[in-house]
Chains A and B, each alone.
Chain A
Amino acid sequence: MLRTERVVDNLNGALHALFADDPRLFLLGEDVLDPYGGAFKVTAGLSTKYPDRVLSTPISESGIVGVANGLALTGNRAIVEIMFGDFAALCFDQILNVSAKSVSMYGRRLDVPLVVRCPMGGNRGYGPTHSQSLQKHFIGIPDLLLHELSPLHDSLTVLRRVLDGGRPCMFFENKPVYGERALAPGAIDDLFGYRFADEDRNWARVAAEGGAGTVLLITTGGMVSRALEAARTLLLEDEIDVTVMVPSQLYPFLPQPLLTEVARAEHVLVAEESTSGGTWGSEVALRLGEVCWDRLKHPVGTIHSRDSIIPAARHLERQVVVQAQDIVDGIRGRVAACTS
């Protein structure tokens, strides 16, 4: 189904709905007040409607997450906006040692209903300190959930589930995705359509009608447009049929709905925007190796950005940050290597 809503509007609408529902929900972030409404306008309108519960903060990433932790531990819910996700490094201690550990370090389960929203990623020319994808640095922290904003997932469904679950969550938002069209299950274009592969609507499955699914490409919300562009090119130019699977929840990784796809596919690859080395893609490759080694015909491949800082100049940035063409090349290379 075609929708005209942009992802940023879907996310903004989700925040409005959550605030309307819950008088104990707070949002904290830098410059989130109207009329500005946050650096990417995600929080537009909230401070006007809920002035007591939308706090525009000093430039204090660690302190803001600390305050949110205090709110969450005392019976409230909190959403934090980190203006640029790169600065989540400044509140790593609060996330690791307070948000995540408080769930279990006191010997009984405590709810920490907290979402730390992190606008991430490149392709916008913001340069080395404003363009990274830091997902990999938060993987493997007990009780910390990682989710990623996606044009295929409804943000209200995701955020409500996460807050209800009581475990703290990093919500990564690839910046260019804000401007993309939010998609609902059904046809996406003349070639591809999507549906959810599980009841929880966690895994979105995008495929060509009646396709054989030769290649299974696992990727994240921020990569959807690049993955679809690559899949279209590969189908039209190479007759390589790619199924794209996109989870909302990156970690803990939930492999179950992938198993039948893995068995069908000749090749399985993971594409992500992170720079190489110790990445989410490596984690996925390892886990798939563990849970379905017998179904994999080849080792899981990974496609990611270069092992580099991210340059500001657009032409240089494109050399580093993974593009649709890198996915095309990666899949072509893999298919060629295995058929020759």
Chain B
Amino acid sequence: MDDSDLHLLLTIRHFELALLRLFEQGRIDGTTHTCLGQEYVPVALRPLLTDDDYVFSNHRGHGHYLARFEDPAALLAEIMGRSGGVCQGVGGSQHLHQGRYFSSGVQGESLPVAVGAALSLKHAGSSGLALAYIGDGTFGEGAVYEALNMARLWDAPLAVVVENNHIAQTTPTDRHLAGSISGRAAAFGIAYHGTGSQDLSAIRADLEPLLRRVRDHGEPLVVEFDTVRVGPHSKGDDTREPAQLQAARDRDWHTAYERSYPDQFAAADASARGAVDAAVAEVGAREPSDWRVAC
């Protein structure tokens, strides 16, 4: 992959690792859901999105955000409650908005909102689309099906990106999902594409024509990434057996890439780590963020 993709992937990786450290040091409150292992999903999608597109992210959204805006300092400031945060520290890790990007911490509720955004684009004659990220566990929410139904009925240019990491908090997918995600897309007559690839170029080559169909014909699409959560659900709460964790690590794009391209990796890793460390030092020294209750 090219250096800029690798740099972004590793920036997200180091960003998430830094957050886990900051938590341990008691320098961040609340919760944080890192996307360790899943960084490649939004990075793969990055060049396929345009400025007209809306992105609706979820609780595990740092990678989604950084792939869109590449400003780790603003996101870190938001999460640390320091000045210059994306949302003045009001939203924290899970409630981010900038430009055409929105996230929320309530599972599933952004899917119908994304349908509304998609209809807005369609009504305005734009070729933009609304992309909503969702985990496998969130397929338990009724709002998801109301949204899929309306998206198909009304030909809303909606792309649902499923990050199926085979676990929802502590519940494995086979304990929460009957049937399959492809079957659920089929039930609504919605186009579906599944991939287990972690190769950015291959993913992009597959998805480019599919997303073009969403744009040109206003037909919704479900893309399922068979992926892997390498870190805990949030902070330090991993209940998986050591063997399961090892299996997850064995599928980590990070290990595989490091092994295949040691020189490129080492250089990019050092530079991304340096950039994140510098951001932690700089943002950590900022004033607390300022926000006044609006009346």
Contact = CB atoms under 8 A, between A and B. Distances in A.
Q: How large is the interface on A (under 10, 10 to 19, 20 to 34, 35 or more residues)?
A: 35 or more
Interface in A98-134: 98, 101-102, 104-110
Nearest to A96: B106
B180 to A, nearest CB: 22
Contacts of A53: 123
A214 to B, nearest CB: 36
Contacts of B231: none
A67 interface: yes
B116 interface: yes
Interface in A48-87: 52-53, 55, 57-58, 60, 62-76, 78
B89 interface: yes
B294 interface: yes
A319 interface: no
Interface string B126-165: 0000100000000000110011011001100000000000
A94 interface: yes
Given A52-B123, A62-B143, A63-B143, A70 B113 contact: yes
Interface of A: 52-53, 55, 57-58, 60, 62-76, 78, 93-94, 97-98, 101-102, 104-110
B50 to A, nearest CB: 15
A68 to B, nearest CB: 6
B113 A98 contact: yes
A71 B116 contact: yes
A107 B113 contact: no
B114 interface: yes
Contact of B85 (A67, A107, A110): A107
Contact of A71 (B87, B95, B120, B150): B120
Nearest to B102: A73
The 10 closest A-B pairs by CB, nearest first: A70-B116, A66-B112, A63-B146, A107-B88, A107-B87, A106-B97, A60-B146, A107-B90, A67-B116, A70-B113
B37 to A, nearest CB: 28
Contacts of A98: 104, 106, 109-110, 113
A73 B113 contact: yes
Contacts of A65: 112
Contacts of B106: 93, 97-98
A9 B120 CA distance: 29
B91 interface: yes
